[in-house]
Every structure is written in structure tokens, then in C-alpha cells.
Structure 1
Amino acid sequence: MAPQPDLPEPAHPEVDSMLSRKFGREVANYFSGSPLNRVSFLRGNHEFISKALTHPTTSFLLFNNLSPLAKDNTTLAYATHAEVKPLIGENPFAKTEEQMIKDYNSAVTLPLVLFLGLDERKKGGFQHGIYSGSPYFAVDVTPRGTVVKEANGVIEAMKAKGLQFIESRMHMTLNAPEAAIYAQARALIDWNARNPFCAGCGQPTLSVNAGTKRVCPPTDYASLPTPQGAITVLDTPRERAACATRTGISNLCFPRTDPTVIMAVVSHDGQRVLLGRSKRWPANWYSTLAGFCEPAESVEEAVRREVWEESGVLLGRVVIHSTQPWPYPANLMIGAIGQALPDGEEIHLEHDPELEDAKWVGIDEIKTALRIGTSGLGDPPGPEYIEGGLRLPPKTAVANQLLQAVVGGFLETPKI
């Protein structure tokens, strides 16, 4: 069974507050709790970014086809500026954003370099005004376009050091701080990779703001392709077709986060929990129900709708419990606990064929499964597991935390 890492500590757990006394201790889920201060307001400050890029304490997390560089399944590996310089150059942020847009040439591949933040736990290193800490960047070293040779060179250099780009589900075995860093980097690299063309006009886009924004430049030094596909570099840039994203703020230019609801549904008497399973899952493996929020829908409405569509069960009160960032590709899992109506507990799977099975499970059986039957989706259960028993997601999944809350007395306290 793969190791299950500890979860991140919630913010300021030692501080007493009225909110903590009323609602209980904050729950921090896996992939949250990053040690980095993102200082997002400095991403467009190229003086700051340039200094951070070349500082001796700076770490670069490399991704090849979204697989991170790692020492093994539990530990990420980081490169230095000297090691990524053959691919990204001395300083890809030497020009201002305005100059980068003005000099845009769509025929040239610019390696993606993301600023992740400052690790303020590390003292005595990088300093910029009142902001200090060790800088972290992510670099997409996937061989593509005009930098295939350079990217392959960096990849081979890392492999020569005994490092590897892990393609398996190692993300669920990283320690909590590294998992959060990985999640941020992967989500942003994936978003950039998915959006090389403008959603407003279809023309190629340029990554700016240290990897957190894509713009549709008004001009291009690359010619339009000939019928044979040939492209030449022009002496003066050509005007590109008009695009609505250039005339105002547009959500087409920024990374997206898709809200998803995931819910532990308890029976009206509080003694059973509704679980469901997909036909793709291993035998006896169940989880809480989940689904995407739709436009103009509250979280509570989404929970009630998804539960009814998938299981036929009708819910009354719904309470938000905790949330979990999920970088596959860019979801925010909104964990909730809902309670069935007295006459709404009958299960019907005829509405939406998404589930293979759904059933009510007693609290005691849930407690036992949480103790001996949890594992990752592709991993075997623990040594105490009895074949045929209920299997549940690991503690790194918000579904597990929702079930822990239900069996741990969440319903018996004033918090609901």
C-alpha cells in the first residue's frame, strides 16, 4: 500500500477565535497549505522577477508533459538557474511586458517560465523591499516548437543526475507542502499548454505576467503561412485581426478554476451515509457523490441537484465543510455535508446513468472502512483489510475528510 502523507496544518491553529469556537477547527485538505507567498501583485514587476530568477537560492520545478521532476515517488527535485539556462536563456523577463507584446513573433517558441512565489520560511536569502524568501519557479521543459533540442538537453541532464520525471500518481504521496507547490505549478502549466490560441479570435497567444496571463498581441513578426505551410520572419510586424480581448478585461486571458461540489449525504436520522461507485472502480470501492457546479447555481443548489440526478435522493439542509484544490486540470472541490429529507431517501439510478451503484451505509461500517479500508484508487488496501469489505478514498481526498467529519460527531455539535 502506498504511504498516505500527513495533511497540511490549517492556518494559525494555535490562535483562539470566535469563529473557531463556533464552527470548530479549520480543515486543511491535501494540495492546499502552500508554504509559498505568491505575491501575485509582483508578477508584472520584471525587475522583481528578474532578480528572483537568478538568485542563488532560487529553485526551479521542471515538468515534462505535465510530469514533475522528482527524486522518487515521495520527493520532488529542483533545478538551478544554471541548469535551465540552456533552455530559457539568461533572463526571459529582461523585457517589459509591453515590449514582449510589441516584439511578438509567433514562429518562435518561448519556453514557459512560471513564478510560483517566495518561501518565507527560508531566511537570509532573496530580498526585494519588504518581501523576502527563497523564490520558486516552474519551467515547462516539454520538447516542442523551436526549442526541442534545448529542452531535450535539459531533460537528459536531469536524468544523468539520477532524477526522473514521474508519470504515475506520485502526487498523492508527496509531503503536504510539496504537494501544494506541485499542484499550483501543474495547474498553471496545464492551463498555458491548453491555451496556445486565443478563445476570442483563434490567433496564437503569448504568456505574460510570469505565466499567469495570456494575451493576444495586435501585431506579429511572423508571416501568415503559405499554402505549403512556410512561415517567414518579417522586417516589420504585420497587423493581426481584431480581437475583443484587447479592448477590456476578459476571463479568456486568465487561468480558470472550475468549482466542483462533493458531498457526504447523511440519512434523516443521521445513522447512514449515501455512497456511490463508478463501474471503472475496483470492487467494493465507494466514495461520496460529486459533480460540477453549473452557471447561475449556488453551491447548495448544485449539491441538491447532483445528488438527486445521480441517486434520486432528495436533500434538505446543506452545509459547506471544507474545500480542496484539485489540479486535474484546475478544479476547486467544495466539500459539503447534506441531510436527506424524511421522505426523500429512496434511491433511484434511472435519472443519470453515471453511477453503477449507490447505497446507504451504516456509520459503524464507515468507521471501520476509514480505519482499515482506505487507499488510492489504483492502490491495494492496507494489511488489516478483510476481502469483501467496504473500501474508501484515502485521507488525501476531501471525500475522506467529509466522511471523517460525519462519523466524528459533526452532526451532533451545534456546528450544523
Structure 2
Amino acid sequence: MLLIKNGRVIDPKTKFDEIADVLIDGKKIVKIGRNLSAEKADVIDATDKIVAPGLIDCHVHFREPGQTHKEDIHTGSLAAARGGFTTVVMMANTNPTVSTVETLREVLAAGAHEKIHVKSVATITNSFDGRTLTDFEALLQAGAAGFSDDGIPFTDAGKVREAMQKAVEFDTLLSLHEEDPQLTGVLGINDGKISHHCGFNGAPTVSEYSMVARDAMLALDTKARVHFQHLSAGESVAVVRFAKNMGANVSSEVTPQHFSITENAILSHGTNAKLNPPLRRQADIEKLIIGLKDGTIDMIATDHAPHTHDEKNQELQKAPSGMIGLETSLALGITHLVAKGHLTLLELLEKMTINPAKVYRFDTGYLAENGPADLVIFDANESREILADFASKSSNSPFISDSLQGVVKYTICDGEIVYHEV
């Protein structure tokens, strides 16, 4: 048994927010209350700490199979645990892509060896060809958490509609990466003053929100469950809000980097600030934050995308897009949203626990007696400089050397301590 004493226990599902103890036996929480005791229980003193549901990240790239020089399921899981995450959903843009039952079973079998819950989507189209839909029924039976061609935008509207109709048939979720390649120059950099200063056209906001608008209306038409990944443009937030008000069954996410830093980070951090979709302007950040406040944006997801130093150490136009994020996500949320008064701590945790669980229909993301013993314990007031000593294999982060508020002390999954700050 494990007894967590005197922490500020926050459950976003029930809005519970009190100083309390949590008693864990096996994989379940057996009691939440005050002055609890249990013989032979290991005790964690959580005085002045937050005790919350284990964080959930529904958008990570663990690069296995095929690109394990960047990351693998084991090192990605270690990074997740260090960041307070007990459940992650891997994207399917591996090599080979997760388009067959065989590949899906391989990655899920590897994930089953880890100490956190590792889930995976399958691709919408076979090997990201944009034309041939995968076998949704067989992949769902094999354990797919949903479907996404993340990394490759879906340009054929007719095929998108067909995929949505198929998703309705099998009551599953489609997660979409929205960037129209016909409207972009160099990917990974916002089209504006920075890209023009660098001598090229980048990716304009319209390349994102035009596809969000198209697919939001297709979702309305088909009644499909559709999730919009990593919104970056203020106009995209307005489109999603409009679609929700019309009755479309859509949800959306934002990454910590997109609400924390602007396109100016390219000048100071170079390729480590090159992302798809790109970092935008301060005006976009302000609209993303409004979307988080009013519920238009349902969740925060990292889009954890490891690359090696050599891959990133190229000229801006050639380097791959993406950054790691699991180990800085919570601290960025506390630093840029909670400490600045945009969200309460409970509201931030809602975006990182129960909301992603609801979208993906996972039975986790909450604290309750007889509920899952997946928890994070963190100090919301302690600040720390981010060093390049990540559990991830990669260190492609623009936040190295930043001082961020919020430090994870323990991560507990299925009642076992899977990370403890040394």
C-alpha cells in the first residue's frame, strides 16, 4: 500500500480541491480523506505539494519502429513519467507506419513493457497515401486508440468525408493535422516578418484555418468525432468555436510551445524553434489562451517530436520540424497560464487530465475511491532552470536555460512509483 499525506488534492472531474490524504492499494485508490493511516503502507509526505490525476498526452512521437536513433518507446516513456504523464498516445508516422494490425500489435506489445500506459493510433490511410483507407475494424479490435495521419495533411476532401463516415460506422475518433501544402512555402516557420527576414515564404495561418474550416463542416455533415491537432492560428480557434456552436462533434488541442513563445524564437533558438505548425504571433497566442479559457480548446498536448542534434544542426530550410515536450509541458502551463492568471491550476489540470481522457474515452484522468491509481505529485511554486539532461534521447527544445515554475516530484502509475525526483 501507498499513503500520500497532507497534499492539496485536486480532481478536475469533480472540482474537488482540498488538503487530504490518498490511500492506494494495488492499482486502485481505496480512500481519499483526512488523517488516514494504514499499517505497513509506504508514506509520501505531500505537504505543500499538489496531488492530481496522472497527466495524459494524446499526441506523442516515440519513433518506434524505424527511427529509434531519435527516441524509442522506452526512452519516450521515461520522459513521460518524468514529466508527470501516466498515459500517452503515440502517433503512427513511424517506419513502417502503423497501418496494419501486425505493426500495431508490435508497438502496443513494446508499450506494454513500460511502467506507464502507452497507447497508439493507427493511420487513416495506408502508409499515409491519402487515398486507401485502412481496415478500421481490424485495427480497433487490435487496440487502436483512434486514427490519424498526423504529419501528412489530408488534402482530398472527398476522402476525408469517406474516412469520417467510416469513423461514424465504428464509433471512433479521427485526429487531423491541418496544413494545406498548396498554401505553404517553407514548412515550420510562420509566414511573416521572420521568414521574410530569412529570405523565404513560410507557412501562413490560412494554410491551417482553411483546412480546419473544411473539416469542421465535414464533421458537422457526417456527425463524426473529429479532433483538431496542435492549433496555432487565432482564426482556427474561431472556426472551432463556430463549429461547436453549430453542433459539430469536434475537439481540439494546443501545445505548450504554441501558447508560450512566438515566431521570434527562431532568431534566438534557430531550428529548435522550427515546428509544424509553426510558432505564430503574440496575437495568435492571445486567441489560443481565450480558447483555453472558454473551452473551445479542450486539451493541451505536447506533440513530443524528438530529433537528433545532427538532424537539427542544419540550415533552417533543411532541418526537420519538431521539438521534445513531455518533460517541460506541465511547467510551461504553470508558468505561462497559471502564474499569469489566465487559468486556475484546476483548469490547467482539466486540460491535461480529464478532458483528453473524455475525448479518447479512457477510464483515467480523475481521482476517486475505487478509481485508477494514476497520480502526479508536484510543487506548483518551485522554479527550476531547464537543463539539457532529459530522459528523452533527444534535447531539441527551445526552452533549455529557461527558468520555469512547477517541478514534478513523483509520478505514480497503477499504484507504483514510476518517477521520483532524486
TM over 0.5: no
TM normalised by structure 2 equals: 0.26
Higher relative contact order (CA 8 A, sep 6+): 2
The structure where helix makes up a greater share of residues is: 2
